[in-house]
Structure 1
Amino acid sequence: MAKNKFHDGAGPSQRQLKVGELIRRTLAQVLARGDVHDPELNRMSITVGEVRVTPDLKIATAYVMPLGGEGREDAIKLLARHKGELRRIIGKDLTLKYAPDLRFRLDETFDQMDETRRLFNQDNVRRDLED
Structure 2
Amino acid sequence: MSRDQKPLGPTQRMLRVGELVRHALAAIFARGDVEDDALHGAVITVPEVRMSNDLKVANAYVMPLGGEHAEEIVAALNRHRKFIRGQVAPQINMKFAPELRFFVDETFEEASRIDALLRSDRVQRDLQAGEDDEDDTQA
TM over 0.5: yes
Q: Tell me, which stretches of 5 or more residues in structure 2 are unaligned?
A: 131-139
Letter in 1 for 2:108: F
The structure number with the bigger radius of gyration is 2
Instruction: Percent identity, please.
Output: 47
Q: 1 CA distance for matches of 2:57 and 2:30?
A: 22
Q: Specify the SS of the correspondent of 1:52.
A: strand
Tell me the CA shift for residue 109 of structure 1.
Answer: 0.5
Partner residue of 1:101? 99
Q: Is the 8 A contact 2:38 2:73 kept in 1?
A: no
1:38 equivalent among 36, 39, 55: 36
Distance 1:91 1:4, change over 3 A: farther
**1:1-131 superposed matches below 5 A:** 4-5=6-7, 10-130=8-128, 131=130
Provide TM-score, normalisation by structure 1: 0.90
Deviations 1:74-106 (A, max 9, x none): 111110011001101110111111000000111
- Larger helix proportion, structure 1 or 2? 2
Q: TM-score, normalised by structure 2?
A: 0.85
